[in-house]
Amino acid sequence: MIQKQKGTYDMQGEMVEKYNYLKRIFQDLMNEYNIKYIDTPIFESSDLYHRGVGETTDIVTKETYDFKDRGDRNITLRPEGTAGIVRSVIENKLYTTLPIKLWYEGPMFRYERPQSGRYRQFRQAGVEIFGDPTPLMDANVISIMVKFYERIGLRGIKVRINSIGNKESRENYRNALLEHFKPYLNDLCEDCQNRYEKNPLRILDCKVDSDKECMNTAPKIVDYLDEKSKKHFDDVLKYLDLMDIKYKIDDKLVRGLDYYTDTVFEVEAEIEGFGSQNVIGAGGRYNNLVENMDGPSVPAVGFAFGIERIINALDAEDVKVISDNSLDCYVIPVSENELENAVMLVNNLRDNAFSVDMDYTNKKMPAKFKEADRYNAKFIIIIGEEEVKNNKLTIKDNLTKEEVKVERDNLIDYLDVNI
């Protein structure tokens, strides 16, 4: 029997309800912040991710799904959202009118070890803001994440934040890290030995060597920030204070992507059973990425989170999801004699934007009512011989179980008032 691939899942049942719930709240939030939707291809040229995400990242070196298409082109399935959006901004010259505020949601692909909340095909949502270099926008982007998590019912939301400085600050810090880790190079894991020359900041992000003494005594980035980077970071913290957003400065936070500059952050929640792995979203500023991908100099900042991980968090916290899959009406013809009448009624209701279904198979009446309950119908509309004769309908409120007779011509008005 053909089965789904390891690290994938079929989204169905309750998970669909939870996914729709999260997407609906996130989309409402995007409207409030005046952020517009963008959708980019699921596969792109491999060069895009090598240049955009970074040659030294785990994503590119270990996790991308790469293949050659029939035209012998190197293609990669989308592992994250930012690089493709930057490509779109450049290719479509969206940078001619700044700022640009974009959000996205869709499937991503990474070849990693499947575990709870982590899949090889997963869904990610995020925000990318182009053309605003201010620390206020950094704080604004962080506030979006915090508001989203609070709205879906997660508790104990807090932000871990750091600055990795601008290009000049990072170069000075890079040299200091090279000097510091040189005597300990043989003690580091193989990944960190490779990172030493390519991107020593990534060593600080290592989970294997995190408890070693050389990690604890490593130079701190804050000591190498120039005045411009220091002021930017101080102003971000000032605006977070004004927004009453709780945060903790973490001088070891560098994030795993090469393109970040200045502000980087992760958002955590107090989630039962998640332990130390309670990071539910992250992001930062990337002022050089558009230019590095052959576009103009356009500053940017953004964040992303995994949908499956958030669903796991809701489950762990026993947060009840408000379902939006209930029907407005379920139409029940009493017998085959009323079937054509019911079909015309259902069609009319759908033309008036009501969600409607009906019994097409002439089940017995108890089965029809059970079907209405299964679809979580708000109202049941019964059409029998008497209803057809008198041009009236029997309307049953499926919550209160009260029944009323309504003139057929007045049905739309009645539903508009009561739904």
Domains of the chain: 14-166+226-316 (3.30.930.10), 329-413 (3.40.50.800)
CA angle 280, 307, 204 (to 5 degrees): 35
Q: For residue 103, which of 33, 15, 158 has the smallest C-alpha distance?
A: 33
What is the pLDDT, as a whole number, of residue 59? 66
Over residues 273-281, mean pLDDT: 74
What is the pLDDT, as a whole number, of residue 257? 60
Inform me whether the pLDDT recorded for 394 exceeds 80: yes
How confident is residue 168, by pLDDT bands cut at 50, 70 and 90? confident
CA angle 322, 326, 331 (to 5 degrees): 165
369 backbone dihedrals φ, ψ, rounded to 5° = -65, -35
What is the pLDDT, as a whole number, of residue 58? 62
What is the pLDDT, as a whole number, of residue 413? 94
What is the pLDDT, as a whole number, of residue 275? 58
371 backbone dihedrals φ, ψ, rounded to 5° = -65, -40
Q: 39-53, 75-89, 272-286, 353-367 — which is least confidently predicted?
A: 272-286
Mean pLDDT of the chain: 90
**Helix-then-strand count for the chain, H and E:** 15, 16
Higher pLDDT, 54 or 20: 20
In this prediction, what percent of the chain has a pLDDT beyond 70?
A: 95
Identity (one letter) of the amino acid at 226? D
* Cβ(29)–Cβ(144) below 8 Å: yes
DSSP β-ladder status, 279-285 and 379-383: unpaired
Over residues 148-159, mean pLDDT: 91
CA angle 2, 6, 7 (to 5 degrees): 135
What is the pLDDT, as a whole number, of residue 255? 67
Which runs of E-coded beta strand occur in 179-278?
247-249, 261-268
Inform me whether the pLDDT recorded for 416 exceeds 60: yes
- Interatomic CA distance for residues 383 and 396, integer angstroms: 11
Inform me whether the pLDDT recorded for 45 exceeds 90: yes
What is the pLDDT, as a whole number, of residue 93? 96
pTM confidence score: 0.82
- Interatomic CA distance for residues 237 and 235, integer angstroms: 5
What is the pLDDT, as a whole number, of residue 259? 76
H or E element at residue 68? strand 66-68
Over residues 27-51, mean pLDDT: 94
The per-residue b/e assignment along 174-191, b for 16 or more CB within 10 angstroms, e otherwise, is: eebbeeebeebeeebeeb
Inform me whether the pLDDT recorded for 56 exceeds 60: no
By the 10 Å C-beta count (0-12 exposed, 13-18 middle, 19+ buried), 310 is classed as buried
* Cβ(159)–Cβ(240) below 8 Å: yes
- Interatomic CA distance for residues 24 and 383, integer angstroms: 35
- Interatomic CA distance for residues 397 and 403, integer angstroms: 6
Alpha carbon of 415 to those of 318, 351, 378: distances in Å?
Answer: 34, 14, 10
- Interatomic CA distance for residues 35 and 50, integer angstroms: 28
What is the pLDDT, as a whole number, of residue 110? 93
The tens digit of pLDDT for each residue in 202-255 reads 787 777 878 888 888 888 888 889 999 999 999 999 999 999 999 999 887 876
